[in-house]
Structure 1
Amino acid sequence: MTQEIRLFGAIAVRPAVLALIPQFETATGFRVATKWEVNPTVKKQIEAGEAFDVVIINPPMVQDLTALGKVKAGSEAAFGRIGMGVAAKAGGRPLDMGSVEAFKQTLKSARSIAYASDGSSGGYFSGLISRLGIADEVKPKLVGISGGQTASAVGRGEAELGVVPVTSILAAAPEVMLVGRFPTELQSYIDFAIGVSASSTVAEAAGQLSAFLTSPAVDGILAAKGVERC
Structure 2
Amino acid sequence: MSREIRLVGAIAVRPAILALIPEFEAATGYAVAARWELNPIVKQQIEASVPFDLVVINPNLVADLAAQGKLEVASQVSFGRIAMGVAARAGGQPLDLGSVAAFERTLQAAASIAYANEGTSGSYFIGLLEQLGIANEVRPKLVPTSGGQTAAAVARGEAELAVIPVSSILAAAPDVVLAGRFPSELQSYIDFAVGISTGARDAKAARVLSAFLTSAASDEVLAAKGLERR
Could you say whether these structures have the same fold, taking a TM-score greater than 0.5 normalized by the shorter chain as the test?
Answer: yes
CA distance in 1, matches of 2:108, 2:115: 15
**3-state SS in 2 of match to 1:92:** coil
CA distance in 2, matches of 1:116, 1:205: 33
Query: 1:16-165 counterparts in 2 under 5 A?
Result: 16-165=16-165
Q: State whether residues 2 and 201 of structure 2, in contact with CA within 8 Å, keep that contact through their aligned partners in structure 1.
A: no
CA distance in 1, matches of 2:213, 2:205: 12
RMSD: 0.8
TM-score (norm 1): 0.99
Q: State whether residues 76 and 193 of structure 1, in contact with CA within 8 Å, keep that contact through their aligned partners in structure 2.
A: yes
**3-state SS in 1 of match to 2:227:** coil
CA distance in 2, matches of 1:115, 1:147: 9
Name segments (4+ residues, structure 1) moved above 6 Å: none
CA distance in 1, matches of 2:61, 2:201: 22
TM-score (norm 2): 0.99
**3-state SS in 1 of match to 2:228:** coil
Question: 1:2 Cα deviation (Å)?
Answer: 6.3
**3-state SS in 2 of match to 1:212:** helix
Q: Which moved more, 1:208-217 or 1:1-10?
A: 1-10
**3-state SS in 2 of match to 1:186:** coil
Unaligned runs of at least 5 residues, structure 2: none
CA distance in 2, matches of 1:2, 1:148: 30
**3-state SS in 2 of match to 1:12:** helix
CA distance in 1, matches of 2:2, 2:52: 17
Question: 1:124 Cα deviation (Å)?
Answer: 0.1
CA distance in 2, matches of 1:144, 1:2: 40
Number of residues of Structure 1 aligned to a counterpart in Structure 2: 230
